[in-house]
Each structure stands twice: as C-alpha cells, then as structure tokens.
Amino acid sequence: MQNLQIDAQRLWDSLTHTAQFGATPKGGICRLTLTDLDRKVRDWFKSQCEALGCVVAIDDMGSMFARRPGKNAALAPIAMGSHLDTQPTGGKFDGVLGVLAALEAMRTLHETGYETNAAVEIVNWTNEEGARFAPAMLASGVFAGVFSRDYAYSRTDRDGKSFGEELARIGYRGEERAGARNFSAMFELHIEQGPILEDQARMIGIVQGVQGVQGMRWYEVTVTGQEAHTGATPMPLRKNALLGAARLIERIETIARQHAPHAVGTVGLIENRPNSRNVIPGEVFFTVDFRHPDDKVLDAMEAKLRLALAEILPPMGLTYGEARIWHCPPVKFAPELINCVRIGAEKAGFAARDMISGAGHDAAYIARVAPTTMIFVPCRGGISHNEAEATRFEECAAGAQVLLNAVLEFDRRLG
C-alpha cells in the first residue's frame, strides 16, 4: 500500500472555515439541521467535493454522498463520513471532523492520482444530533430501515415545522431513495466525547461498538395542571405542573443512580407554559434519556419511570402523557474493519487502544446494513456537546491519517 499522507494544515483550515457557519460568541457552533446555516455548509461541502471530480448525490432524507470512482465498478463503494449538524451549543469537532477528515482523505487521493479498487464515498448524514428533530440519527435510521420516510418527514421541531417541509425548503430533498445504495464498508471518524484517550495518552481509539455495547431510550413527557393567578390561588388548591415535573426529574435522577455505575439518566429539555412570572404553570413538556448496557435494566428503569408518573402526579391533581420515542439497542462493529483501523494506526505510528462508544452515532444504524466501524481521537477533558469542545491540531491530523490508512487497507483486501 502506498504511504499516502494527508495535509494536516489543509484539514485544520477546513475545520476553521466551516466553524464560521453558525459560529457562537463562545467559540462553538449552533448549526441545527435543515436551517439556512445547514444549507450553507452543505453548499460549501458540495462545491469542495465537486472540485475533486466527485459526483455528489443526495437522497430523499437529504444525506449527501460524494463518490470518487474506483478501478472495479462491480465493487460497492467504501464510505467514510459523519455529520455536519450540531447541538445548539455545539463544538467545532463533533461530527464535523468525521466529514472534513474524509474530505481531506479524498483530496489526498485526488492530488496523488491514487486509484482505489472500489469507489470511495464521503457521506454527510442528516440530523444525527436530533437536537431539532427527534429522534437522533434520523436519516441513517431511514437508510437502515429503522424508521420509515413518512415517519421522518412528520417529525416536527418545537416551533411545529416538519422535517419534510424544512428539507424541501433548503433545497436538499433529493430524488434517490434513502437506503437504495450499498456500501462494502463504512468508516466513521469522531472525537471520543469522553476522557479515556486523553487520560491514557493514546492518540487513537479503535471502537468495538456503540453504547458500550449499551442501549439508549428517549422519552417525551407532558405534565398538565391548571394555569392560575399566583397571588389569588391558595397553595393547597394549586395544580402546579412545574412542581410535578420537578419531583419527577428528581426521581429520574434516583432511578439512574439505583442502577449505577453503568446507568445514566438525564432530563435535558424542558418547556414550561405559559412561562409567566405571575401564572402558576399549567403545562410542562420535558424529555428523558436513559442509557445502560443491558436491555433488561433499561426495561426496569422504564417501568420505574412509569410508576413514578402514576405515583407522583395524580395525587397533585395533575394528568400526564408519556411516550418512548426512540430505542437504540447495543451495536457491535465488524471485526474485519476494526482490524483495518488497528493496522492503520500501526502504520501511522500512533498509540491506540480498544474502546467502546458511550454515545450514539450514525455508524450504529449503518452497522445493520453494511460492515461498519469507528475511529476515535481525544477531546480535551472529554467535553462535548459544549462550545468548549476542543481537539488539537495533531489529534485531528492523526484521526484523518488513520482513516485514510484504514480505508486503503480495506480497499487492498477487496482487490
């Protein structure tokens, strides 16, 4: 295998440039999926790929596929990529590094004239974060047959705008049916989003699976009481939806701690209505995120959540609605691809360790329909989903180099 070297400065410049699309005052990015900012970064990405001679296709979920042909058209393409959407207070590297490192790998292949056996594709998956349209990993989920297209299109943001309408509005609803194309493999580079690599002074994480091999469940809860004047309504006669929600949030914390050390539980989004200082809250909407390696434990946590709803709210004169909107079971990655990453790290001379992902990624769904694996690089303090998220120049370069090495190692085996 020819020892191709990525251009670390060019990769860094691309990361810096794209961080301007949705830049926040604290140095992060707010680039929610299917917004005008998302359209702008997509347009930039498309132009960069076409400048390399790649053909860019877009499916009906808005996912983008930039293909460079290989010598053998009979081989399914090797995919590499991640996502360009971010959290409302996201960092510069979560998801973005995986797409731009793939772009840098493609640039290296182009400028050296290296011919792969299989075609190589860069993928930008739509709505990985799930910050605007829940659930997360929506487009890769449709691609893998987890969700229907109609279900995805019907998802709405908190302003009532639908995924399907917004996809069409920004001009990224393609004609290709999601899931119509095949991959011989998919590699996803990502920041670790945890502290292990930094703590152990390892440059590369060789990812064995997603969620430790842990499962995730998301819930949506609406608590309904009665709006009333704060000054004229005695305390015993109140139906305070926010108070009921607060007691539930504390119980959710308790449920997670009861199943420690592997369980986690989080209420990350809450909306209080009418949200007026002199009106008793009449309705509260909030989300719950439960995670644990064992589905049986998740079943128990779910049962305790539903028991808490029934125990806490009716005695307070409150009603409620609850729904599990997402379940992502444990995922193990393809051993052959894991081996390619291991060889890729060795060829580049980087210290590596086997690990699992505590967060969900598009690779978790693509693993259902194609051999898949992930590569991790460190992030400072393990901080992610935060504007303070930081990965060093050398770490980004290392990840891109191992990504290219792993793709070429797998391509060599195809030949």
The share of the chain scoring above pLDDT 70, in percent, equals 99
Beta bridge partner(s), residue 59: 176
Contact at 8 Å (CB) between 213 and 360? no
On whether residue 1 sits in a domain, the answer given is: no
Q: What is the mean pLDDT of residues 53-75?
A: 98
CATH of the domain at 301: 3.30.70.360
Q: Give the sign of the dihedral formed by CA 251, CA 254, CA 258, CA 259.
A: positive
pLDDT at 294 over 90: no
In tens, the pLDDT along 161-190 reads 999 999 999 999 999 999 999 999 999 999
Query: Which residues span the domain enclosing 258?
Result: 215-328
Give the pLDDT score at 142. 98
Cα angle 95-335-217, degrees, rounded to a multiple of 5:
50
Looking at 278, 302, 328, the residue that finishes a domain is: 328
Residue with tokens 């842990």: 214
> Domains in the chain: how many in total?
2
Quote the pLDDT of residue 1: 44
> In a 10 Å sphere around its CB, with 0-12 CB exposed, 13-18 middle and 19+ buried, how is residue 323 labelled?
exposed
The encoded tokens of residue 160 equal: 């009532």
- Decide if 3 is inside a domain: no
Q: Identity (one letter) of the amino acid at 148?
A: S
Look at residue 415 and give its three-state secondary structure. coil
pLDDT digits (tens, 9 = 90+) for 200-216: 999 999 999 875 446 88
Is 312 within 8 Å of 223 (Cβ atoms)? no
Identify whether residues 301 and 160 lie together within a single domain. Answer: no
Average pLDDT score over residue span 391-408: 98
Residues 365, 371, 191, 47, CA torsion sign: negative
Average pLDDT in the 313-322 region? 98
Per-residue model confidence as pLDDT tens digits over 108-129: 999 999 999 999 999 999 999 9
The alpha-carbon radius of gyration of the chain (Å, integer) is 23
Number of Cβ within a 10 Å radius of residue 64: 24
pLDDT interval class at 360 (50, 70, 90) = confident
> Do 144 and 30 reside in the same domain of the chain?
yes
Q: What is the CATH number of the domain that holds 337?
A: 3.40.630.10
Residues 199 and 82 placed together within one structural domain of the fold: yes
Res 210: pLDDT: 72
This prediction's pTM? 0.85
Q: Binning pLDDT at 50, 70 and 90, where does residue 377 land? A: very high
Q: Predicted confidence band at 2 (pLDDT cuts at 50, 70, 90)?
A: low
